[in-house]
Structure 1
Amino acid sequence: MTYNSVADTPRSSVDRKRFLIRLTIVVAGGMFIDGYVLGIVGTVIGAITTDLDMSVYGEGLIGAAALIGIFAGGPLGGWAADKFGRKPMFTIDLAMFVVGSVLQFFVDSSWQLFVVRLLMGVAIGAEYSISWPLMAEFAPARLRGRCLSFAEVAWYIGFVVAFVVGFALTALDADWRVILGTSTVPAVILFFGRLGVPESPRWLMSKGRVEEARRIADTWIEDQADRADITGEQQRQGTFRMLFSSRYWRATTFISVFWFCTVTPYFAIATFSASVLAHYGLGEDGLVGAIGVNGVALLGVVVSCLLIERIGRRKLTIPQQWVCAAVLVVIALWASAPPLVVLGCFLVFAFANAMCTALTGVYPGEVLPTELRGIGTGFATAISRVGAAIGTFLFPWSMQDLGAGTTMLVAAGICVVGALVSQALAPETAGRTLTEISTER
């Protein structure tokens, strides 16, 4: 099946469903790579530190390099996607990632590794602000939440697969460069899988390319109501300043703070989960526990993906953040807790955190209009990765100098902030068209 927008003709229902499935897979593939890249470094950070003779600060910097790159790549990719279109950027950013992934095989110093993973992070950041808007603009209203949240399922799969692959190759005495470079394989496959994907009809409509937009919508969008909703798009030029206007500041604040508070504690704990669990007395089982924590997180995001269209967004967003805060407080204050109790608390945290994290891939594509969907998603991506980078960079220092109890209390406080902001600003968007959501302010 090809996707040539020039020669598009109306397709059968089966073809349209196949297209939606394929688009969902290639969008989710980008999130798989993100999770893989951020997870794989946690399996070899010890070997890298020893081989390159790095300090604890250098260790944290390498762990956070890709996150810092995402901070820049998110807004840049969103700006480019809003200006030049979703389609061209959808493959360009993957090409950038493939180049960076290959370069990992050849690094021989800490600064080279930092630069390469920084550039990979730029490509990953662009991925968020390009692929999520594209998916939101093609998905039917009745399935949009599930299609978008499936990308988060793929992220956790990538993170878990990275741990399994990384530790398996480490057991075989593979060089850490080879282990990091394994991200090249899924990236190349995904690059070819994206070739030929059509342009977003909503973006085309917003740019005044009405006939082309209608042709693509009639060809690939199944539901008549969704095709009709696209015709309601207005020709407006989005600017960065509009994100903070009286009309959109609430949406911008919500998606940014919610995302920040959700991923910051998870990245810090999950990236160094083996050493964290060992610190709490799990000893040689720390490695197994680390895989378990990430595996339970995968289960949590799958549950959200399955329930999101049934129970709505808010019920999967707010309560889970309070649960995360509560179990982290227990870990922080119960210093003499048995190791299995600590492990249980971390598993509950991972499950609840993942349930609400699934919504970080849904809300940005829904609450902003087409002309701001790319740059708005990119801005929220950048803010979230500030938190993730700070958490990853400072976590080893905090555990060492401030102690585990204080570190966990700080993480709990971040969860509380996210819960309060979500309670006040999170909208219910289930089953509503993008035009309905973006015009209700």
Structure 2
Amino acid sequence: MWRMIFVLSGGMFLDGYILGIVGPVAGSLTADLGLSTVWEGLIAAGPLFGIFFGSPIGGWAADKFGRKPLFLMDMALFVIASGMQFFVDSPGLLFVVRLLMGVAIGMEYSVGWPLMSEFAPANLRGRLMGVTLVAWYTGFMVAYALGYWLVNATSLGWRTILGTSTLLAVVLFLARFGLPESPRWLWNQGRADEAKAVAHKYMQHAAEMSDVEHEDTRKGTLGMLFSSQYWRATLFVSMFWFCAVAPYFAIATFADTVLQQYGLSGGLAGGVGLSAVALAAVILTVLLIDKAGRRVLTVPPQWVCAALLAVIGLWGGAPPVIVLALFLAFSFFNAMYNTLTGVYPGEVFPTEVRCVGTGFAAAVSRIGAGTGTFLLPWSMANLGPAVSMLIAAGIALVGAALSQWLAPETKGKSLTETAAGLSH
């Protein structure tokens, strides 16, 4: 489990890293390649659009061919694409390279969380899956801080700074060799003897081993996600994730720009400050999730974030220190329920569609994250900061209402029980 936590967390760290590293080099990147605001948004959002394609494809493949081979393939693709950043010489090529990195990360989403959920004991599952979100926010914050330092204290070019993700990717790729296949997937494929052997070797509790034997042996399809049995799970996970990440990605990726629009000095303190507050919230959520439950950490924080963004949008003459406090509060509460986007997908879908369901939800979420990141520079310039923040508030409001209706409580339940929670 420790090894699996390391390689899964490393994948999430990389996702946060490649998004956070763009902000500090945006200036030199724009000057060197002569980027328009459209190209600036596309390059920042490239990995998010890549996740849109990679996650459903990876999810389908992981449900069909197994978790283990996809877990190696996605990191191999990331190593190749990340290394290509050292050699890009045009906006189009940089966009394609970061798109491929996103495809790899999308596959990671669709197989990593399901794999963790299928091994983790019920009493620790939320905490173990939430740790990967700690890694994501840490990756974003480390990348922003490291990138800012490298830009201002060294003579390294933006290609080298962007390419720093390659080294960790190589380590993670090598560390994945020898990890076991999921016993639940093996049982679902009718390979009961192999499933029992893996379960007895890697699972600590008899109840978890026994629960593996309750798995169905039917084959899953993408269409099952929209059946009368599972549409609620698909709707909830997809749109909850969409509404959670769309405002955060846009605001955090361009923290400098957003804060400067409100008369605040961004720089290192602004970008890292938002990420540091978010990281603290994720750590708190991980500590509480298996004790307090899922719903209390999912629903109320969304209503709070909708209100905070609305205040920022409506209070045009607010003092800069108040605006900064509101942004920091938004970052904190948003990160609380964002942690659940790494927990719910692995719990509410059954084994036969767990990966493709997670992959589909990740794709929908990245429509929100990618569109928000792509459109924010344009929106701030053409619609103004007030309207931009009110749009973000509206998105948070939709997520709050949906979660109030559908978010299940899965604390302490077996995967068989959690997968049946939204099935009717």
| TM-based fold match above 0.5 | yes
CA RMSD for the aligned pairs? 0.8
- Within the candidate set 377, 380, 383, 1:396 is matched to 377
- Within the candidate set 163, 168, 175, 1:181 is matched to 163
Q: CA deviation at 1:287?
A: 3.2
Q: CA deviation at 1:286?
A: 4.1
- Within the candidate set 44, 52, 61, 1:71 is matched to 52
Q: CA deviation at 1:191?
A: 1.0
> In the alignment, what sits opposite 1:414?
395
Does 2:218 correspond to 1:224? no
Partner Cα separation in structure 2 for residue 237 and residue 43 of structure 1: 46
Give the residue type in structure 2 aligned to 1:216.
V
CA contact 1:277–1:286 (8 Å) conserved in 2: no
Runs of 4+ in 1 over 3 A off after TM superposition: none
Question: How many equivalent pairs are there?
Answer: 421
Q: Deviations over 1:261-291 (max 9, x none)?
A: 00000000000001211221113x5431221
> In the alignment, what sits opposite 1:153?
134
> In the alignment, what sits opposite 1:37?
18
Alignment partner of 1:281: what SS? Answer: coil
Q: Deviations over 1:50-85 (max 9, x none)?
A: 111111111111111111100000001001100110
Partner Cα separation in structure 2 for residue 337 and residue 40 of structure 1: 30
Does 2:205 correspond to 1:250? no
CA contact 2:302–2:400 (8 Å) conserved in 1: yes
Partner Cα separation in structure 1 for residue 238 and residue 149 of structure 2: 36
Alignment partner of 2:412: what SS? Answer: coil
- Within the candidate set 241, 246, 254, 2:223 is matched to 241
Alignment partner of 2:408: what SS? Answer: coil
Partner Cα separation in structure 1 for residue 331 and residue 381 of structure 2: 23
Q: Deviations over 1:217-268 (max 9, x none)?
A: 0011001100100011110110111000000000000000000000000000
Partner Cα separation in structure 1 for residue 176 and residue 191 of structure 2: 23
Partner Cα separation in structure 1 for residue 268 and residue 397 of structure 2: 29
Partner Cα separation in structure 1 for residue 25 and residue 156 of structure 2: 10
CA contact 2:51–2:102 (8 Å) conserved in 1: yes
Partner Cα separation in structure 2 for residue 190 and residue 164 of structure 1: 22
Unpaired runs of at least 5, structure 2: none
> In the alignment, what sits opposite 2:311?
330
Partner Cα separation in structure 2 for residue 150 and residue 196 of structure 1: 22
Structure 1 residues 312-321 or 274-283, which shifts more?
274-283
Q: CA deviation at 1:203?
A: 0.2
CA contact 1:278–1:286 (8 Å) conserved in 2: no
Alignment partner of 2:162: what SS? Answer: helix
> In the alignment, what sits opposite 2:243?
261
CA contact 1:106–1:177 (8 Å) conserved in 2: yes
Unpaired runs of at least 5, structure 1: 1-19
Normalising by structure 2, what TM-score?
0.98
> In the alignment, what sits opposite 1:170?
151
Q: CA deviation at 1:439?
A: 3.0
Give the residue type in structure 1 aligned to 2:117.
A
Normalising by structure 1, what TM-score?
0.94
> In the alignment, what sits opposite 1:214?
196
Does 2:337 correspond to 1:386? no
Partner Cα separation in structure 2 for residue 228 and residue 42 of structure 1: 48
> In the alignment, what sits opposite 1:3?
none
Q: Deviations over 1:136-172 (max 9, x none)?
A: 0000011111111111110000000000110011011
CA contact 1:31–1:155 (8 Å) conserved in 2: yes
- Within the candidate set 413, 421, 424, 1:432 is matched to 413
Partner Cα separation in structure 2 for residue 68 and residue 429 of structure 1: 30
> In the alignment, what sits opposite 1:204?
186
CA contact 2:81–2:98 (8 Å) conserved in 1: yes
Does 2:354 correspond to 1:373? yes
CA contact 2:52–2:106 (8 Å) conserved in 1: yes
Alignment partner of 1:208: what SS? Answer: coil
CA contact 2:133–2:342 (8 Å) conserved in 1: yes
Q: How does 1:56-205 map to 2 (within 5 A)?
A: 56-171=37-152, 172-205=154-187
CA contact 1:275–1:286 (8 Å) conserved in 2: no
Q: CA deviation at 1:173?
A: 2.9
Does 2:323 correspond to 1:342? yes
CA contact 2:145–2:268 (8 Å) conserved in 1: no
Percent identity over paired residues: 59
Q: CA deviation at 1:338?
A: 1.1
Alignment partner of 1:302: what SS? Answer: helix
Q: How does 1:277-356 map to 2 (within 5 A)?
A: 277-283=259-265, 285-356=266-337
Partner Cα separation in structure 2 for residue 103 and residue 344 of structure 1: 40
- Within the candidate set 255, 271, 281, 1:273 is matched to 255
CA contact 1:42–1:271 (8 Å) conserved in 2: yes
Q: Deviations over 1:400-441 (max 9, x none)?
A: 000000000000000000000001011000100011122342
